[in-house]
């Protein structure tokens, strides 16, 4: 798309407005190249730290980098439940009278919660086991939101297990 715009601008009269547009398009190209370089670098670092994490369906290089950075060393959490609580993915009772239900935690690390949400949506879209899990939860009578909460909690457990044995960079105890 950007190339076709550059070609169209090259054939137009070179007014100040056209030159500004061409400069902006050149800057967009530079920023895009730099973004790709940084994404590749983050991916390599994430792979060297926790390659098992990137093997999970729905976890791409930037999401893996985000998880590693936001978790800050999985050794901080004795159990996956503690990580889920930190991420805001742990269910909280929100019952009233005869209605028994759970809700999302509105606290916790929102960036980490968003990463788990992205993984869950990707898995629902492309991973048959996640779709089956969601269908099973829906068959149990849960709403779509509740089933998604269950899937996110399930993903927290999978990420916690995958990060238990980092495969490269040693994190000092002070940083864990």
The pLDDT of residue 166 is: 52
Same domain, 39 and 64: no
| pLDDT tens figures, 107-128 | 788 889 999 999 999 999 998 9
Task: Decide: helix, strand or coil at residue 118.
Answer: helix
Whether 79 shows a pLDDT value over 60: the answer reads yes
Tens digits of per-residue pLDDT, 23-33? Answer: 888 899 899 99
Nearest Cα to Cα of residue 60 among 128, 154, 2, 125: 125
pLDDT, tens digit (0-9, with 9 covering 90-100), for 127-174: 899 999 999 999 998 888 888 888 999 999 998 888 886 554 444 333
Same domain, 28 and 77: no
Q: Which of 13, 34, 49 is the last residue of a domain?
A: 49
Same domain, 107 and 143: yes
Length of the chain (residues): 176
53, two tokens: 């994490």
Same domain, 86 and 163: yes
Residue 58 and residue 23 share a domain: no
Are 83 and 71 within 8 A, CB to CB?
A: yes
- For the chain, how many structural domains are there in total? 2
What is the domain range of residue 35? 1-49
Based on the fold, state whether residues 10 and 73 are members of the same structural domain: no
- The residue among 49, 66, 87 that closes a domain is 49
- Identify whether residues 100 and 34 lie together within a single domain: no
């Amino acid at each position: 798309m950007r190339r076709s715009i550059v070609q169209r601008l090259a054939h137009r009269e070179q007014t100040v407005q056209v030159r500004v547009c061409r400069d902006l398009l050149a800057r967009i190209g530079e920023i895009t190249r730099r973004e790709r370089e940084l994404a590749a670098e983050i991916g390599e670092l994430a792979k060297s730290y926790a390659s098992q994490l990137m093997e999970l369906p729905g976890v791409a290089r930037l999401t893996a980098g985000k998880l590693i950075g936001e978790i800050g060393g999985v050794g901080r959490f004795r159990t996956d439940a503690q990580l889920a609580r930190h991420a805001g993915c742990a269910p909280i009772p929100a019952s009233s009278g005869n209605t028994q239900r759970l809700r999302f935690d509105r606290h916790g690390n929102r960036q980490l919660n968003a990463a788990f949400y992205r993984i869950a949506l990707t898995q629902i879209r492309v991973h048959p086991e996640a779709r089956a899990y969601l269908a099973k939860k829906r068959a149990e009578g849960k709403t779509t939101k509740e089933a998604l909460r269950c899937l996110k909690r399930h993903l927290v457990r999978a990420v916690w297990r995958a990060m238990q044995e980092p495969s490269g960079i040693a994190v000092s105890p002070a940083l864990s």
